[in-house]
A and B are shown apart, each in its own frame.
Chain A
Amino acid sequence: MFNFHYRLERYSIRFAILVVIVASIGGFVEIAPLFTIDETVEPAPDMRVYTPLELAGRNIYIREGCYACHSQMIRSLRDEVERYGPYSLAAESQYDHPMLWGSKRTGPDLARVGGKYSDYWHVVHMNNPRDVVPESVMPSYRWLGRNELEPADFDLHLRAQQKVGVPYTDEMVANAINDLSGQANPDGKRAEGVLARYGEATNIRDFDGDPTKVTELDALIAYLQILGRLTEVAHQNPVMKKLEGPK
């Protein structure tokens, strides 16, 4: 057996190819089951997709590198569950391309931050985190409230998500640009369409407190306020219900 390995090592290219093959078996064994085993992603029939505004916010979250300091993954550990809420389920990030679980927590986990604080708090916090959390080391993101969102090609963003398996309808894609501004203008005529397409529970608000324009801050807060709220499946676990109390 050892002589066999000795012989393998004597021819470097052949040996390198064999190393790649053996190593890829490990990857295959880890990755392939996610596609073949149904129970890796829990059923979540009530789950909705991100609205265009939330998706734009998610893009900003990625652009600004928020994931480098904030995770979106509550692990199945007692202290995490008691602090943040029900542990994260795979289904909850099934429409995330790419997922933003993260692995580093300089700031707190954000998987269940949706609805935890007011929009106004987020506005103040993005403008200067130290105004509300004096010991915070988070940078200020003042430009988000000044930068207007550029919606020109947003239907293509939805189309791309559709191609990787997110169930956006063609109607959602066709109305993406209207829905983008509609969600941030509760009194506008486009808001109705957002509710019709994404559900009555969708947050339709002027998120950043500036009704004159739709900014990147509107999008980011819309995204943060939906984190952990796309589906109720994680809250339906009887033990988590006991922890959180009845609705």
Chain B
Amino acid sequence: MGIEERDRYTGHMTTGHDWNGIKELNTKVPKAVWIFLFISFVFSVICWILWPAWPLGETYTRGILGTDQQKRVDQVVERAIEDRAIWTGRIMDMDYGEILSDQSLMQIARENGGRLFLDNCAACHGKKAEGGPGFPALKDTAWLWGGTPEIISESIRVGINSGHEDSRASEMLAFGRDQLLPRDEILTVIDYVQSLSPVSADQEPKQDRNAAGKALFLENCASCHGENAKGDVETGAPDLTDDFWIYGGTRAAIFATVWNGRKGHMPAWQGRLSDVDRKILTLFLLDLSGMDVDGRSNN
């Protein structure tokens, strides 16, 4: 320490730096700072003792509290599952009809189902289950595979063309691309299909081609969609006489469907959502579309 000079006005030491006679004071660090610094040292030593801190080669100090964030979240999640068991147990034990008529349980299903729907289903089916191009609406009463609770919950469990071992499987052939039908015959059968649907009520059906269109329909389409074009819930073939269109009901959209075929995909939710979550979602959808246990609309 070469500098031992005390400023005679303040009583502090100087640093020895001198600018034209003005000297820099080496003011002492305030006591409060020392106190806080000391407290923070003590605090960190306590933390080292309580929680995992120092690495020791192949292991580390684990702390006397034995804290483990992963075990902690396991406990919290498990406790949450137990807390919910009061009503999840009832939902699992009761059948759909009983739950639908139990307003307190339905309120729970609505709240939890809505949350599950937003987290898992809304990306494709839309926030209000209104669907979108390629993704069926779920708030209506047109169900590809049937609208009873058991069928809906099974659809959620196994998915469609999902790779699940029990997956529902459905595919519409590419009639144009794979040259099953020539272009003019496809257009003829589209005329016929459009004449069945109320959407095209304003369009004049081309009667002269309808006979030919019907013949083509019976030959090529009826095996899945049915002779009356009402669809088939066994094969997931849509009803072509209603005004619900998954891929669009315009002439161009139907042409694209018939030409390139369709093979929709819904993931299987078994293994991602638990049995009770899937049952809650089923209840949520039944409630949303206003259906009873037999898949009939109450609206």
The answer, yes or no, to whether B267 is at the interface (CB within 8 Å) is yes
Q: Which 7 pairs, one residue from A and one from B, show the smallest C-beta to C-beta distance?
A: A245-B274, A33-B55, A118-B265, A76-B73, A247-B271, A239-B74, A76-B69
Contacts of A115 in B (CB 8 A): 267, 272
Shortest Cβ distance from A34 into B: residue = B55
- Rounded to whole Å, the gap between the CB of A93 and the closest CB of chain B is 16
Q: Is A120 an interface residue (CB 8 A)?
A: yes
Q: Which of A16-24, A79-87, A161-169 contacts B (4 or more CB under 8 A)?
A: A79-87
> Quick one: which of B76, B127, B273, B276 contacts A78, CB cutoff 8 A?
B76
Residues of A within 8 A of B58 (CB): 36-38
B73 touches A117 (CB 8 A): no
Residues of A close to B274: CB separation below 8 A: 242-245
* A245–B277 touching, CB < 8 Å: yes
Knowing A29-B55, A36-B55, A120-B134, the reply to whether A244 touches B73 (Cβ < 8 A) is no
Q: Is B215 an interface residue (CB 8 A)?
A: no
Cross-interface CB contact of A131 among B132, B267, B271, cutoff 8 Å: B132
Minimum CB distance partner of A203 in chain B: B163
Cα A89 to Cα B260 with chains together (Å): 42
Hey, what's the 0/1 contact readout for A106-128 against B, CB within 8 Å counting as 1? Answer: 00000000011111110011000
Contact of B272 (CB < 8 Å), options: A38, A237, A239, A244: A244
When distances are taken between beta carbons in the complex, the residues of chain B under 8 Å from A81 are 73, 77
Q: Is the CB of B123 within 8 A of A245?
A: no
Closest to A28 in B: B55
Tell whether, in the assembled complex, residue A37 and residue B69 are in contact, meaning their CB atoms are under 8 Å apart: no
Chain A residues in the interface with B (C-beta under 8 A): 3, 6-7, 29, 32-33, 36-38, 76-78, 81-83, 85, 87, 115-121, 124-125, 131-134, 235, 237, 239-240, 242-247
> Within the assembled complex, what's the spacing in Å between the Cα atoms of A245 and B74?
15
Contact, CB under 8 Å: A82 / B77: yes
B107 within 8 A of A: no
A119 to chain B: which residues have CB within 8 Å? 265
Contact A245 B265 (CB under 8 A): no
Whole-angstrom CA separation of A87 from B76 in the bound complex: 13
For residue B180, CB closer than 8 A to chain A, the reply is no
Q: A117-B123, A242-B78, A247-B271 are in contact. Are A131 and B133 (CB under 8 A)?
A: yes
Interface string of B129-143 (1 = CB under 8 A from A): 000111100000000
Output the nearest chain B residue to A239 by Cβ-Cβ distance: B74
For this complex, 11 residue pairs linking A to B, each with C-beta atoms less than 8 Å apart, are A33-B55, A37-B59, A115-B272, A118-B124, A124-B133, A132-B124, A239-B78, A240-B74, A243-B81, A245-B274, A245-B277
Residues of A within 8 A of B73 (CB): 76-78, 81, 87
Instruction: Please measure, in the bound complex, the distance between the C-alpha atom of A244 and the C-alpha atom of B81, giving whole angstroms.
Output: 11
Chain A residues with Cβ below 8 Å from B132 are 131-132
B94 proximal to A (CB < 8 A)? no
B74 touches A121 (CB 8 A): no
The reply to whether the CB of B72 lies closer than 8 angstroms to some CB of chain A is: yes
Instruction: Report the separation of the CA atoms of residues A242 and B274 in the bound assembly, to the nearest whole angstrom.
Output: 7
**Is the Cβ of B271 less than 8 Å from the Cβ of A244?**
yes
The answer to whether B77 touches A121, judged by C-beta atoms less than 8 angstroms apart, is: no
Alpha-carbon distance between A119 and B275 when the two chains are bound, in angstroms: 25
Chain A residue at minimal CB-CB distance from B132:
A132
Q: Are the CB atoms of B55 and A32 closer together than 8 Å?
A: yes
CA distance A58 to B57 in the complex (A): 34
Contact residues in A for B77 (Cβ distance below 8 Å): 78, 81-82, 239-240, 243
Q: Please, how many angstroms separate the alpha-carbon atoms of A6 and B59 in the complex? A: 38
Contact B1 A133 (CB under 8 A): no
Residue numbers in A under 8 Å from B265 (CB-CB):
118-120
Given contact pairs A38-B58, A76-B70, A121 touches B123 in the complex (Cβ within 8 A): yes
Interface flag for B266 (CB, 8 Å): yes
Chain B 243-277: CB-based contact to A (< 8 A → 1; otherwise 0): 00000000000000000000011110011111111
Closest to B57 in A: A36
CB nearest to B160 among chain A residues: A118
CB of A22, distance to nearest CB on chain B (Å):
15
B124 touches A121 (CB 8 A): yes
Q: Given A76-B70, A118-B264, 17 more contacts at CB 8 Å?
A: A29-B54, A36-B58, A82-B80, A87-B70, A116-B120, A116-B272, A117-B123, A118-B267, A120-B134, A120-B264, A132-B123, A132-B132, A239-B81, A242-B274, A244-B271, A244-B273, A245-B277
Contact A237 B74 (CB under 8 A): yes
* Minimal Cβ-Cβ distance residue in A for B125: A132
Chain A residues contacting B273 (CB-CB under 8 Å) are 244-245
CB-CB < 8 A to A3: which residues of B?
1
A246-B271 contact given A76-B73, A239-B74, CB 8 Å threshold: yes
Instruction: Tell me, in angstroms, the Cα distance from A247 to B271 when the chains sit together.
Output: 4
In the complex, whether B119 has a CB less than 8 A from a CB of chain A is: yes
Chain B residues near A87: list those with CB within 8 A: 70, 73
